[in-house]
Amino acid sequence: MEKLYSGKVKTVYQSDVENEVLIEYHDKVTAGNGAKECMATNKGRINAAISALLFEELKEQGIESHFIRMENENTMRCLKVDIVPIEVVVRNIAAGSIVRNTTIPEGQRFAPEPLIECFLKDDEKDDPLLNDARIMAMGYNGQKFMMMSIARKVNVVLKEIFDSINIDLVDYKLEFGEYDNRRIILADEISPDSCRLWRKGTNESMDKDLFRKDEGDIIEAYEEIMGKLNTQNTESK
């Protein structure tokens, strides 16, 4: 298969269908744009499974993504999209960079609407925060409007899902792609690698912060999240 892209934790291959790709999830864990990394057995399989489940849940609510189906336990078949170089971060609770870079205290809840920010998707530039003027100058104002609209809809669905398994969806990163005459759809992944998840009541991290801060075993946490989501999904059908 032709390799189209190789990133820190995923590789994208051209599939046997022209407008479809195969995305292979790896076991590598990275933080700080690759400054810190290690291998974690089964991480790729778990993240692929969680992403597939959440993309399916979103599809049932009318939110389109690039996901088509799982090919094997760590590879998914997806629509071939042109990735928009803007990462959308949806924040329900203050944590991470917004606490480091502002006077907003950790744990502050954003309600009734989440706080949504846009960042340039560029590791070499350290993914800088973008404002509306910069996005307009980059020529992505129309895409930004659509991405923000979709992000708000995604947040309603994901918050309900994670609330049902006693997890606070603190914040998460979304990526989007253009497909079929520049239609904007969800892309990349939705997993504990791209979400900040806290156990309700204790604020215990259940995401990649465990690796970033050397606070525990990410595989144990990721497996717990996957198990809870699978149980919730089965019970809701």
Domain-embedded: residue 214: yes
For residue range 56-76, list pLDDT tens digits in order: 999 999 999 999 999 999 999
Domain at 31, CATH number:
3.30.200.20
pLDDT higher than threshold 90 for residue 32: no
Same structural domain, 60 and 107: no
Q: Is 82 exposed, middle or buried (0-12, 13-18, 19+ CB in 10 A)?
A: exposed
Same structural domain, 66 and 156: no
Confidence band for 34, pLDDT divided at 50, 70 and 90? confident
For residue range 149-159, list pLDDT tens digits in order: 999 999 999 99
Q: CA dist 153 to 37, 61, 97, 139, Å?
A: 33, 9, 23, 24
Domain-embedded: residue 224: no
Domain that holds residue 194: 82-218
pLDDT higher than threshold 80 for residue 237: no
Rounded Cα distance, 107 and 94, in Å: 5
Same structural domain, 88 and 63: no
For residue range 89-147, list pLDDT tens digits in order: 999 999 999 999 999 999 999 999 999 999 999 999 999 999 999 999 999 999 999 99
Q: What is the per-residue pLDDT for 33?
A: 74
Q: H or E stretch including 132?
A: helix 132-138
Same structural domain, 52 and 153: no
Same structural domain, 93 and 115: yes
Confidence band for 224, pLDDT divided at 50, 70 and 90? very high
Our count of domains for the chain comes to 2
Domain-embedded: residue 74: yes
For residue range 164-212, list pLDDT tens digits in order: 999 999 999 999 999 988 899 999 999 999 999 999 999 999 999 999 9
Q: What is the per-residue pLDDT for 233?
A: 86
Confidence band for 26, pLDDT divided at 50, 70 and 90? very high
Domain-embedded: residue 229: no
Same structural domain, 121 and 202: yes
Single-letter amino acid code for the residue at 81: V
Domain-embedded: residue 93: yes
End-of-domain residue from the set 79, 111, 127: 79
Q: Helix (H, G, I), strand (E, B), or coil: what is residue 90? A: strand
Single-letter amino acid code for the residue at 167: I
End-of-domain residue from the set 59, 79, 99: 79
Same structural domain, 19 and 128: no
Domain-embedded: residue 233: no
Same structural domain, 33 and 128: no
Domain at 119, CATH number:
3.30.470.20
Contact partners, residue 135, CB within 8 Å, separation at least 6: 86, 118, 141, 144
Single-letter amino acid code for the residue at 22: L
Same structural domain, 129 and 205: yes
pLDDT higher than threshold 90 for residue 234: no
Same structural domain, 59 and 95: no
Mean pLDDT of 1-19: 95
Domain-embedded: residue 75: yes
Same structural domain, 94 and 44: no
Same structural domain, 74 and 127: no
Rounded Cα distance, 200 and 87, in Å: 27
Mean pLDDT of 222-230: 97
